[in-house]
Amino acid sequence: MNAGQQSARRIASQNALSRDTVCISCRHRLASHASRRHASAATAAVAEEPPRTQTNPSNPPVTATGPKKAFQLKCSPVLSRPPVITRELTSFEKAFFLYQKRLNERLALPFTRYFYTKKETPGDIEWKRKRSLRRGTAARDIGAYNAYDDEKWNDEVLVGSKLGDPEDITERLILDAEGKDITEGEPQGDAETGGETISGDARAGEGSQKPVAEVNVERPASRITEADEQNDVKSLNRKLDRSLYLLVQNKDGQWRFPEDRVYGRENLHQAAERILLQAGGINMNTWVLANHPIGHYVNAFKSPILSKILPNRLVRTSRELEQEEYGEKVFFLKSRILAGQADLSQNEYKDKDFSWLAKEEVEKVVSKHYWSQIRNMLTER
């Protein structure tokens, strides 16, 4: 038995891993691991211990008299609302998709019309009429472009054209469902309509047909909501295509995720649920995803603070405690809001204000140090 193995066993048996250096679950795992005679891991863990304690040289042995010296152990639920709608495509993506669709026109098998409408039925006549307005193309979202006629080379759109925008595609589909000409809105002489001749043909063709029945299809709701226009940061209807995070302004005026100490023997998950309740009220349906944190924030105080911690009424195991605190360690737990809205009227931390912010807005309100430690756990969209 080598020395490393022995030391690991000793540590495990004497429970000598001090409480301040290794978390409970890690200690448990280390202990059980050492007893299983896989010593390499435990020794490695022990070898890593010294630098941790060295970062806080003023941390005295546990046996010292007087108030306990420690860090503030805090839990902070990162409550977020996931994106509700799809994101806006970049101009390159729009151009690329349109290009691929026009390529597809000549590479895919032709549309089998008679599989869907029988010959010389009203549906078939209507289909032919609409298709002739699109220069014989079956697709409705690529403009008036036919990959097989003489002008098939003219497959690029001009500067400022909206063709290929998802909004434009939606509008064309709805117009088509209403029985209207989908190339109508395009200006005369535009490349998409193939110049005046085609537009003229289309007009004439339409004039000779009987007017189609008025069908009004409901347009999809706007991607930009009222809350967006008013920039109402308290609303969850803002920025529907982004993740929004709940930030609160604490009693010192700092913007942070809601946070509180961990009391008694509660774990981080329980603490996160309690904090959401005590900070945001009961009118929120939330889900704390996991038991482990997704990030942490460490802040050392300039001078230690002697603080007296009163027991929390919601945590039965919490006791009154006095300790000298050298800094704070905040662990962030990921959580999602499923329904409801935050309400600070029942807030127990004297928070002044709250807001739902996207990632780049979070950067603007929080302190630089805080941002540097939370930025990587927030999703980009």
Pick out residues in 322-381 that bind another protein (CB under 8 A): 334, 336, 379, 381
Closer CB to another protein, 173 or 212, in the complex: 173
Distance (Å, whole) CA 84 – CA 86: 7
| Residue type at position 100 | Q
CB 340 within 8 Å of CB 320: no
Among 8, 147, 236, 240, binds another protein (CB under 8 A): 240
Closer CB to another protein, 288 or 318, in the complex: 288
Q: Where are the alpha helices (DSSP H) in the chain?
A: 3-14, 24-35, 39-54, 91-107, 122-133, 166-177, 195-208, 226-230, 268-280, 359-365, 368-374
Closer CB to another protein, 214 or 320, in the complex: 214
Closer CB to another protein, 10 or 381, in the complex: 381
Among 7, 56, 132, 154, binds another protein (CB under 8 A): 154
Longest dimension (CA), the chain: 100
Residues in the chain: 381
Of residues 108-137, which lie at the interface with another protein (CB under 8 A)? 108-113, 115-116, 127
Stretch that binds another protein, among 239-247, 271-279, 301-309, 340-348 (CB under 8 A): 239-247
Distance (Å, whole) CA 139 – CA 122: 20
Among 25, 121, 209, 317, binds another protein (CB under 8 A): 25
DSSP helix/strand/coil, 252: coil
Distance (Å, whole) CA 75 – CA 268: 6
Distance (Å, whole) CA 15 – CA 135: 82
Of residues 292-321, which lie at the interface with another protein (CB under 8 A)? 292, 294
Of residues 169-228, which lie at the interface with another protein (CB under 8 A)? 169-170, 173-174, 176-177, 187, 189-191, 194-195, 217-218, 220-221, 223-225, 228
Closer CB to another protein, 166 or 304, in the complex: 166
Task: Choose among 40, 42, 36, 41: nearest CA to 11.
Answer: 42
Of residues 28-67, which lie at the interface with another protein (CB under 8 A)? 29-30, 33, 38, 40-41, 44-45, 47-48
Closer CB to another protein, 48 or 322, in the complex: 48
Q: Is 141 in the site for another protein (CB under 8 A)?
A: yes
DSSP assignment string, 273-294:
HHHHHHHH-SSEEEEE--SS-S
Closer CB to another protein, 66 or 123, in the complex: 123
Closer CB to another protein, 244 or 279, in the complex: 244
Among 6, 18, 100, 307, binds another protein (CB under 8 A): 100
Closer CB to another protein, 28 or 369, in the complex: 28
| Residue type at position 41 | A
Closer CB to another protein, 47 or 64, in the complex: 47
Distance (Å, whole) CA 338 – CA 335: 10
The nearest distance, CB 221 to another protein, in angstroms, is 7
The nearest distance, CB 82 to another protein, in angstroms, is 4
Residue that is written with structure tokens 């970062």 in the block: 55
The nearest distance, CB 284 to another protein, in angstroms, is 14
Of residues 63-92, which lie at the interface with another protein (CB under 8 A)? 82-83, 86-92
DSSP helix/strand/coil, 193: coil
Among 16, 62, 103, 204, binds another protein (CB under 8 A): 103
Neighbouring residues of 275: CB distance < 8 A, sequence distance ≥ 6 = 75, 76, 77, 258, 259, 260
The nearest distance, CB 196 to another protein, in angstroms, is 8
Tokens, residue 358: 């996207």
Stretch that binds another protein, among 62-70, 262-270, 289-297, 366-374 (CB under 8 A): 289-297
Neighbouring residues of 209: CB distance < 8 A, sequence distance ≥ 6 = 129
Size of residue set near another protein by CB under 8 A = 94
